[in-house]
Amino acid sequence: MSFTPTTEADAPALTSPAAATAVPEPDDVEYPEGQWVAQSLWHGDAVRQATAALDHHFRERQDTLVGMEVRVYYVRGNNKVWLQPDVQVVFGVKRGNRSSFKVWEEGKAPDFVLEVASPSTAENDAEHKALEYANIGVREYWRLDPTGSLMSSPLEGYVACAGSYDVVEPVADAGPWLRSEVLGLELRGARQAGATVVVFRDPETGEEFDGSLAAVEQRRRAAEDRASAEAQRASAAEERVRALEQQLRNSAGHRPPRAGES
């Protein structure tokens, strides 16, 4: 499947980041932060979990921004034109708080975008939004169906190619996993308490994570277990050193006297 903006009727006339930078920005232009209302409990859970999973995965990278429902303004001086991805990941920008994302200030568009479908947005996400994301330079566009009834598959990925999007094919011999070259991760949709959420996998370690509270708790306990095991190993090593030192002292105290010693 491919999305290609071809005519003005097919896609809105969008200003590229480079062109937008050259447009003077009026002093009185404000760029309001986004407002988000989850379309359903499942929709909200899927958005929050995906954001939490990616934010945790990239937590050590100060040049990586993970945002949830942050408005993306891409035409300098025009606060009427914006996009609000459910989840976005941007590489090469400073990690930190933002009320909005201005493409001309950041110097680039988001690299990865995930939209979670709902009955009121599914068609728009599939057609209109895909064209807009392609036009502003989003490298990968992903869609998740939390209900299992809005899309032909639970998770779809699209990668930028010559101004359009080509579908991401499943990883060979890996079942439902789809490879995100942008994230360096593999993704699949999985049912969880009735809903479909995104599960991520690190291909280097094989670790799977989904951002759920249960998964966070499991990671916390695993980290505590590792820390406890390391402390026990360190304590045992110290005990062995102390025992060896005591043996040496005992041996020195009971050695036979040397010639000339009284």
* 257 domain-assigned: no
189 with 216, same domain: the answer is no
147 with 233, same domain: the answer is no
Q: What is the CATH number of the domain that holds 101?
A: 3.90.1570.20
The answer to whether 164 and 3 have CB atoms below 8 angstroms apart is yes
33 with 70, same domain: the answer is yes
- Other Cβ atoms within 10 Å of 109 Cβ, number: 21
93 with 185, same domain: the answer is yes
Residue 39 confidence (pLDDT) = 67
The answer to whether 150 and 160 have CB atoms below 8 angstroms apart is no
Assign 248 to helix, strand or coil.
helix
- Higher per-residue confidence, 193 vs 68: 68
* 258 domain-assigned: no
199 with 240, same domain: the answer is no
Domain hosting 230: range is 212-252
* 259 domain-assigned: no
47 with 108, same domain: the answer is yes
pLDDT tens for each residue of 114-152: 999 988 766 766 778 888 999 999 999 999 999 988 898
> Among 41, 92, 34, which residue's Cα sits nearest to residue 68?
34
Instruction: Compute the distance between CA of residue 33 and CA of residue 261 in angstroms, rounded to an integer.
Output: 88
* 260 domain-assigned: no
Tokens of 33: 């932060």
The answer to whether 68 and 48 have CB atoms below 8 angstroms apart is yes
Mean pLDDT across the chain: 81
149 with 112, same domain: the answer is yes
* 261 domain-assigned: no
21 with 84, same domain: the answer is yes
Angle at 194 between CA 190 and CA 199, to 5 degrees: 20
Q: Is the pLDDT of residue 231 over 70?
A: no
* 173 domain-assigned: yes
94 with 189, same domain: the answer is yes
| Total structural domains within the chain | 2
Instruction: Compute the distance between CA of residue 238 and CA of residue 69 in angstroms, rounded to an integer.
Output: 51
- Other Cβ atoms within 10 Å of 117 Cβ, number: 25
174 falls in which pLDDT band (50, 70, 90)?
Answer: confident
Length of the chain: 262
pLDDT tens for each residue of 233-257: 877 778 888 878 778 777 766 666 6
Q: Is the pLDDT of residue 24 over 80?
A: no
201 with 216, same domain: the answer is no
Indicate the pTM of the whole model. Answer: 0.71
204 with 131, same domain: the answer is yes
192 with 224, same domain: the answer is no
